Structure 1
Amino acid sequence: MSRVYIQNVMHAKLHQKLIDFELFKKYAIQLHTKKHQNFFSSKSISSITKPHQENDFNSRILNSGSKPSAYCLVNLIRACTNLGWFSRGEQLRCCILKSGYVNNVFVGSALVNFYVKFQLLGNAQQLFDEMTERNVVTWNTLISGYARSGQFRNALNLFIQLERSEQSSDSYSISAALSACGALGLVQLGKLMHSKIVKFGVECSIVVSNSLIDMYGKCGCAEESNRVFKRMMEKDTISWNSVIAANARNRALDQAVDFLCQMPEPDIVSYNEVISGVAQFGIIEDAVDMLSRMPSPNSSSWNSIITGYVNRGRAKESLEFFRNMHLSNVLMDQFTFSSLLSGIANIAAITWGRLMHCCTVKYGVDETVVVGTALIDMYSKCGHMKEADILFGWLPVKNLITWNTIISGHAHNGNSDEVIRLFEQLKSVKDLQPDGITFVNVLAACWHNKMSFQAANEYFELMVNDYGICPMPEHCTSMIKLLGQEGDVSKAEKMIYELGFEKCELVWKALLGASVTCGDIKIAEVTAAKVTELEGDDEFVYVLMSNMYALHRKWIDVGGMRGWMKEKRVRKEAGRSWI
């Protein structure tokens, strides 16, 4: 046995016997100056150090007068990362600055990983930028950190920087970049990366091949996923599950079932992907039958069918299925309740909603961001904004979807002033910023509140210039309605062309409605022709134009419209009420 190995064993045994923490701290300070150190020693350090004594421990190291080795610092940073000791890691960074290891690539990479694990990607990026030397591990840590946190464009931008640097990407950086391509639906960029992978022979890596299958599947290219899978010399469980998911999520249900049957040892993920696909795109009763014959189904298996019922507008059946799930003693999770609440919201069944709210409290998931947001949405769609506001105030963690949900609730319930107030609050929330959906609701509130176009346009310009959000048709329709309120439909027509929405029937319908509201026959006729050109015969166009001609007492034109409707067999649905 080597002397280093024996020394490590002795160190480990000694560490486990150190009950007095004062002795341990003295020993740790001595240890980091030893000539022979490795991860085993540092692992023992981290395993004994107590959280409430971390500050004193670091001050001892900082003030010990001896310079710790880079290897010891790396492993101490890893210990802080794995044990979730943020303040200790921050103090270790001070130790690193004092010790002169700030430009050491291994120490720097460990610190980047430390910040990534604590989801402080801004700190990680700043440290990354300050490093004078980086290795591929440094790059991979930050790229994968961005990808895991959902910042896919940042991940791709960093990957492109890596490609332009002197460093070479490896299977892990390529895998993270492919994951970002899949999430963003950038199939062309994914194909470019695939060609490079083939050129440099990285495709033989099982990690890269699995990422390619996943990327093509998420971009809607199931056949490409199948080709990559069939070319693989070696396949693992992830390979099989990825190709099953690629087919199931893209309506290729027969192919997904075939792969499931061919899979040597299907696991619960394999079955769940097929059940989810069948529940979403196939005959949902077939999915229920598969569930009944599936070995050891879990909550995700049941959740897939509940989601299938909800997405198909069969909320009552989802509630009945939930009852069966409860009787079968299946553990329910936050996704079970979020799907059910979505279905309840769609049918505005407030009694069921309150019952489900009680269930979420019983299961202890009512304060999770997923369920909390679903509860806010349910109460909002049932018209109970007071309860929605109370829940929003109580929710300990709120993401952008939560904010958009409460803002949307007030917008749809006509509380325009509250929409603007909440929007101003959101602007001041750290690490969150409004997105396109937020501004859809804000601009809609401006219209409902009969604000001036100039005042609403300030929000529109804020969206484009300050937040860099590209206008969507929904933004444009609100601006058109605002201009219609002021009788300036010619400016609204000009805006459609300026924003590049001349091929979008939604904005032309909004302009037609605005033209009828302010009585501009000329623009209404041009707009009606445009809607018909883009969408074909639509009762909306004929009815609006007929009403407009009647308003101006153009009875001949009214008769012409009615004649066209009869000739084209366009029927206006009779109005009805549930009251």
Structure 2
Amino acid sequence: MKPNAFALVQLLRTATDICYHKFGQQLHSYAIRSGYHYSNIYVSTSLIKLYVKMHSFTHAHNLFVEIPQPNVVSWNTLISGYVQAGLFPEALSLFKNLERSEICADAFSVTSAMTACAQLSLLKLGGSIHSKTVKLGLVNDTVVANCLIDMYGKYGSVERAVCVFSDITNKDVISWNSVIAACANNGNVGLGFKFLQLMPNPDVISYNGLINGIAQAGNIEDAVWILSTMPCPNSSSWNSVITGFVNKNRVHEALDMFRKLQMRNLQMDEFTFSIILNGIAGISAVTWGMLIHCCTVKYGLDSSVVVGTALIDMYSKCGRVNDAEFIFNVLPNRNLVSWNAMISGYARNGDFVQVISLFDSLKMERDTKPDGITFLNLISACSHTQIPFETAIHYFDAMINEYGIAPSIEHCCSMIRLMGQKGELQRAQRMIQELGFESCGVVWRSLLGACGTQEDLQVAEIAASKVIELEKDEDYVYVMLSNMYASFGRWEDVNEIRSLMSKKRVRKEAGSSWIEVNR
């Protein structure tokens, strides 16, 4: 007997759920041969879900387009797939097409669209979708309301989030947790704490939302106090506090919290180790890093791609590039972050030949493609005198033309520094204009700094006027121009600049340095 449409749908669902993609593709072939591919919308929708799970969105989109009359479930399957994969513009584009069709959006459609708006900080569009939920009579749906609270919380609009929360008839635990997180993450800790006290049965997530918000935006000691008083803290509760200490450069206090977490015998996860390793990397405390590395082995997490990448970064920043290289080579699975960490490690430690060699290896990977961070490391590596200037130009052009990566401010500044080393300052000035960064003070500041090494007064004066116009930072400009005028022997200009500096009480700060001392 051959499977009918109902059986085919069940088989496709099972293949999707257990990630048996090869069998799912065989079922797709059978669906085409049997005619279900076009005639049965449930089969077509199940196939879309399969390809979404495979992250094969070209196939999923083509399947969707071929459906004669897609229903709302078909639309939702592809929209939510885009959202889950982080393809938020694609999700919103498809949602707009749904609005123009004869199909009426439902609660699932609008919640997916609002999630995409929240991630892209599109307040105006999110507000219009909110209006649509009112028009469709979905505003009283608890799930939709919860999504609205989360969306407004991410926008920083606490008032709107609280307003939506207040209008919910049947508040569930997600409603309470969403409004607590919205308040805490936007610095309104007092209101978040008030909601926590009013909540009927707060759970760990309720406390964690408040702790995370306080740790990131408020007084971290308050977060520590809540952690000490909450009923049953889990590893996420501790992670939020440790993250707060690391983000505030209080790494030794983060290590103390990590030690206390160990003593409580709570299960530590990948995030616990990755955040503490990031903190250790920031202060180059290699002894602590090696101890934490031993802990990751004990917990069986050293082969995790998240922890492994954090170890690569930590050893690289501590100057132990051979250890970082060993971990990179033995990692069972690598993602782009792992590759970038190793490439960055080579660049930071001056092994520019290995940077280029590893990049060539990355290009051979089938499922991993370089991104903007990869090319930023490559361009930085090209500042080495042994690497021809045209090599950097080649990589920069390849990033734009072959990989379709738009240059960022960081790329532009890195190229300016490189051009400054090679005496190509006018070329750097043209590049700023060609890339459309004329209104960005940071790139002009970078160009002014490059002029200092080449003593090009003509370009320096243009860059200086732009820095004053865009950043209002006269102090930096005066110091730079004073030094350059002095190097050219233009003492009248030097005296004029120094007179201005004296009137404005501009002082050149003394340099400082630091070194880790064993504690």
After TM superposition, the score normalised by the length of structure 2 is: 0.93
Aligned equivalent of 2:34, options 93, 99, 108: 99
* Pairing 1:196-211 to 2, within 5 Å after superposition: 196-211=132-147
1:526 aligns with 2:462: yes
Question: In the alignment, which residue of structure 2 is the partner of 1:408?
Answer: 344
* Alpha-carbon distance between aligned partners in 1 of 2:138 and 2:181, rounded to the nearest angstrom: 23
SS for the counterpart of 2:332 is: coil
Contact 1:318 1:340 in 2 (8 A): yes
Paired residue type of 2:33: K
3-state SS of paired residue (1:102):
helix
Q: Which moved more, 1:212-221 or 1:292-301?
A: 212-221
Equivalent position of 1:192 in the other structure: 128
Q: How does 1:478-489 map to 2 (within 5 A)?
A: 478-489=414-425
What secondary structure is seen at the aligned counterpart in 1 of 2:103? coil
Check conservation: 2:185, 2:214, Cα contact below 8 A: no
Indicate the residue corresponding to 1:70 in structure 2: 5
Q: Is the 8 A contact 2:91 2:116 kept in 1?
A: yes
Alignment-derived partner of residue 85 in structure 1 = 20
1:437 is aligned to: 373
Residue 543, structure 1, aligned to residue 456, structure 2: no
Whole-Å Cα distance in 1 between the matches of residues 427 and 36 of structure 2? 62
List per-residue Cα deviations over 1:332-381 (Å, max 9, x = no partner).
Answer: 11111111001100000011111111111111111222211111111111
Which residue in the other structure is 1:331 paired with?
267
Letter in 2 for 1:147: V
Q: Please, which of 52, 64, 77 is the counterpart of residue 128 of structure 1?
A: 64
Provide, for residues 521-561 of structure 1, a one-character-per-residue CA deviation record: whole Å limited to 9, x for no partner. Answer: 12212322322333334543333222222222233333333
My pick for the range that moved more, 304-313 or 533-542, is 533-542
Please tell me whether residue 351 in structure 1 is matched to residue 287 in structure 2. yes
Q: 1:138 to 1:72 in 2, by over 3 A?
A: same
Higher mean C-alpha deviation, range 131-140 or range 83-92: 83-92
Match of 1:204, SS state, is coil
Distance in structure 1 (CA, Å) of the matches to 2:169 and 2:91 = 29
5+ residue gaps, structure 2: none
Equivalent residue for 1:418? Answer: 354
Q: 2: distance between equivalents of 1:116 and 1:498?
A: 38
Pairwise CA distance, 1:453: 5.0
1:165 lines up with 2:127 in the alignment: no
Q: Distance in 2 between matches of 1:149 and 1:366?
A: 26
Post-superposition offset of 1:449: 4.7
The answer as to whether partners of 1:306 and 1:321 remain within 8 angstroms in 2 is yes
Q: Work out the CA distance in 1 between the residues paired with 2:477 and 2:272.
A: 42
Deviation at 1:426, TM superposition (A): 2.7
Q: Does 1:227 align with 2:173?
A: no
Give the alignment partner of residue 88 of structure 2, picking from 152, 156, 177.
152
**Structure 2 CA distance for aligned equivalents of residues 448 and 527 of structure 1:** 25
In structure 2, relative to structure 1, the CA distance for the partners of 1:386 and 1:115 (3 Å cut) is: same
C-alpha separation in 2, matches of 1:327 and 1:236: 35
For residue 47 of structure 2, the aligned residue among 111, 122, 132 is 111
1:339 and 1:136 mapped to 2: Cα distance? Answer: 42
Distance change in 2, residues 1:151/1:427 (3 Å): farther
Q: Distance in 2 between matches of 1:161 and 1:477?
A: 39
Aligned to 1:447, the other structure's residue is in SS state: coil
Q: Is the aligned partner of 1:275 residue 2:211? A: yes
Decide whether the 8 Å contact of 1:241 with 1:270 is kept in 2. yes
Indicate how the Cα distance of structure 1 residues 499 and 128 shifts in structure 2: closer, same or farther if over 3 A, else same: same
In the alignment, what sits opposite 1:178? Answer: 114
Aligned residue number for residue 41 of structure 1 = none
Q: Distance in 2 between matches of 1:141 and 1:515?
A: 55
C-alpha contact (below 8 Å) 1:156/1:177 kept by paired residues: yes
TM-score w.r.t. length of structure 1:
0.84
The correspondence for 1:249, drawn from 168, 173, 185, is 185
Q: Structure 1 residues 196, 248: closer, same or farther in 2, change over 3 A? A: same
Note closer, same or farther for the CA distance 1:148–1:181 as it changes in structure 2 (3 Å cut).
same
Q: Distance in 1 between matches of 2:113 and 2:513?
A: 52
Count residues with an aligned counterpart. 514
- Equivalents in 2 of 1:537, 1:102: separation in Å? 64
Q: Distance in 2 between matches of 1:121 and 1:526?
A: 48
Distance 1:111 1:362 in 2: 42
Query: What secondary structure does 2:378 align onto?
Result: helix
What is the one-letter code of the residue matched to 2:196?
A: L
User: Any unmatched runs of 5+ in structure 1?
Assistant: 1-65
After alignment, is 231-240 or 270-279 more displaced?
231-240
CA distance 1:449–1:568, change in 2 (3 Å): same
| 2-structure distance, mates of 1:506, 1:178 | 34
